[in-house]
Amino acid sequence: MFKEVITPRFYETDAYGHINNTVVNQWFETARRPIFELFARGPDIKDWCIILARTEVDFIGQTYYGKDVEIQSCIERIGNKSFVVGQEMYQDGGLVARGKAVQVHFDQQLQVSLPLTVEQIEQLAKWMKPGDQ
Amino acid sequence: MFKEVITPRFYETDAYGHINNTVVNQWFETARRPIFELFARGPDIKDWCIILARTEVDFIGQTYYGKDVEIQSCIERIGNKSFVVGQEMYQDGGLVARGKAVQVHFDQQLQVSLPLTVEQIEQLAKWMKPGDQ
Amino acid sequence: MFKEVITPRFYETDAYGHINNTVVNQWFETARRPIFELFARGPDIKDWCIILARTEVDFIGQTYYGKDVEIQSCIERIGNKSFVVGQEMYQDGGLVARGKAVQVHFDQQLQVSLPLTVEQIEQLAKWMKPGDQ
Amino acid sequence: MFKEVITPRFYETDAYGHINNTVVNQWFETARRPIFELFARGPDIKDWCIILARTEVDFIGQTYYGKDVEIQSCIERIGNKSFVVGQEMYQDGGLVARGKAVQVHFDQQLQVSLPLTVEQIEQLAKWMKPGDQ
């Protein structure tokens, strides 16, 4: 499991007075940053070999401007060419959103999915929940 | 079913050269606009009585700058206090993303969910897929 | 002069209940789209040879969700390697924002600015305000 | 002067491979956060009494994903009802953008601008550049 702390920004609110729902997907992407580094072949983002196949988000409570948010991410399942990231977002001690992201090892030049490497699987496994490995 | 045509914007691309995945959630929200009007009690957005409980998106193909996108939205299920919107996004004749959104009739002042009214159910039913009603 | 009509989106509002100020820059970029096409060497955005050097925006009135916005763009000045775009945004008949953008003909591979071509100057000149040429 | 450190996010890049220009305005707004607190009458954002009248940004260099950005903000001028914020953005030791924002003390309910209070002026003055007061 790994964590990301995010300070809500004013432009991320909407006319309801809360953080807009679509921003939660942006924050969850941001919180998956350590995973992207596992799939970077070089300094250029164009050489990353990872894509997103699916996202799910449950909005459990409202998220507000003025208080930091903590996102906890863990790996829920490791497949042959893809894996599932589980994410939970907390504000003020309460769970406000929960999500899943299915990411795929993918060669952008060749446009084909690739088997996860041994190194990738080892690192992803370290981020599984205790008892899940 | 109802449709929304969206012209991709340059700032919506990312370093992969395509439309960023998080933008698809923004476009799907935008395409649900006719639904929001069903839940507006007055001209002020603060008086809308609808919230989002869940979203799912499957990313099927890449979406590019330079060609319009069409989003088709329909109602998949009508519950007592909530309903499910199914959405499909097409570019250049191909399906590029598919999503679901669970929306809830909700009183923002009282912070309670409300039963759908007869008028809301009737209008939502008109947007169901042929054969689904 | 050329025009772009934009329908405000819900996620573009902020907690003040209006369209967030930072969105105006996004819309102005979007409205400059026809200009970008003048600087596209091929279908890939990476081959566009135009960059932004400066923006100015005056916020004159509030912009609301629920009514379309019209952006009028014209070329105000043509230099050797750069030019100035003037933009005005109207909602409900009133001017709500006014901006300027300084764009530069630029080779992204070589990282050098380039003289505007005769063809670019001719097209840009057609977008000048009557009486400005 | 006060500082804000921002970690660029993937969705903030564009197809040029850099951080999109419109994002700089979002970051500059974010970096003005301490100022907003001076104009908050209560916990609700709706009760903030500050609006934005003008922004200017000079884009000096490209901003990249992968390295933190530091934004330095100071007060450049204090008027009767408004003031000017000067902002500079650095990445990797180099200045990449410079901006100005004109903000106005404004009552959102009454829709009128207000004279700055003695307390606001005193705090703003503390953020002026050395030698500018």
> What would the pLDDT profile of C76-85 be if each residue is shown by its tens digit?
999 999 999 9
Residues of C in contact with D56 (CB under 8 A): 54-57
Residues of D in contact with B23 (CB under 8 A): 11
**Of residues C10, C65, C66, nearest to B29 (C-beta):** C10
**Of residues B11, B21, B22, nearest to D14 (C-beta):** B11
Output the pLDDT for position D104.
98
Output the pLDDT for position A129.
79
Checking if the pLDDT of D118 tops 90, the result is: yes
Give the up-direction half-sphere exposure of residue C121: CA atoms within 13 A in the CB hemisphere.
Answer: 11
Q: Which residues contact C1 (CB under 8 A, 6 or more apart)?
A: C72, C73, C74, C127, C129
Output the pLDDT for position A118.
97
CA dihedral over A2, A6, A12, A15, signed as positive or negative: positive
Average pLDDT value for residue range A56-66 = 97
Q: In the CATH hierarchy, which top-level class contains the domain C2-126?
A: alpha beta
Count of other CB atoms within 10 angstroms of residue C11: 21
Asked if the Cβ–Cβ distance from A55 to B51 is below 8 Å, we say no
When pLDDT is cut at 50, 70 and 90, the band that residue B132 belongs to is low
Q: Please, which residues bridge with residue A87 across strands?
A: A73, A99
Checking if the pLDDT of C133 tops 60, the result is: no
- CA–chain centroid gap for C99, Å, is 8
d(CA C33, CA B128): 36
Q: Which residues contact D62 (CB under 8 A, 6 or more apart)?
A: D18, D19, D96
Checking if the pLDDT of D133 tops 60, the result is: no
CB distance D55 to D87 below 8 Å: no
Residues from B in contact with C at Cβ < 8 Å? 9-11, 13, 17, 26, 29-30, 33, 36, 43-46, 65-66
DSSP designation for C110: T
| Pick among A10, A23, A26 to test the C interface (most C CBs inside 10 A) | A10
Encode pLDDT of D3-13 as tens digits.
Answer: 999 999 999 99
Q: Helices D21-31 and C21-31 sit at what angle, rounded to 10 degrees?
A: 170
d(CA D39, CA D116): 10
Residues of A in contact with D36 (CB under 8 A): 10
**Of residues A22, A51, A56, nearest to B29 (C-beta):** A22
Q: State what percent of residues in chain D have pLDDT above 90.
A: 89
Checking if the pLDDT of B103 tops 50, the result is: yes
Alpha carbon distances (Å) from D29 to B75, C103, D94: 38, 23, 21
> Mean pLDDT in chain B?
95
Checking if the pLDDT of A132 tops 80, the result is: no
SS3 C90: strand
Alpha carbon distances (Å) from A51 to A39, A73, B10, B15, B88: 10, 17, 20, 12, 20
Checking if the pLDDT of B9 tops 80, the result is: yes
Q: What is the ipTM of this complex?
A: 0.94
Residues from C in contact with A at Cβ < 8 Å? 10-11, 13-15, 17-18, 20-23, 65
Checking if the pLDDT of C109 tops 90, the result is: no
Count of other CB atoms within 10 angstroms of residue A15: 23
SS3 C92: coil
Two tokens, residue A55:
């996202």
CA dihedral over C122, C126, C127, C128, signed as positive or negative: positive
Prediction pTM value: 0.96
Encode pLDDT of C12-42 as tens digits.
Answer: 999 999 999 999 999 999 999 999 999 998 8
The candidate with the shortest Cα–Cα distance to B22, out of A27, C10, A70, is: A27
Asked if the Cβ–Cβ distance from D52 to C29 is below 8 Å, we say no
When pLDDT is cut at 50, 70 and 90, the band that residue C44 belongs to is confident
Checking if the pLDDT of C130 tops 80, the result is: no
Alpha carbon distances (Å) from A45 to C14, C44, D18, D20, D27: 31, 16, 10, 14, 21
Encode pLDDT of A91-112 as tens digits.
Answer: 999 999 999 999 999 998 899 9
Output the pLDDT for position B70.
98
For chains A and C, CB pairs below 8 A equal: 30
CA torsion angle for C37, C42, C45, C50 (degrees, to 10)? Answer: -50
More confident residue, D108 or D97: D97
Q: Determine the residue of chain D that is closest to C100 in CA distance.
A: D56
d(CA D29, CA D83): 15
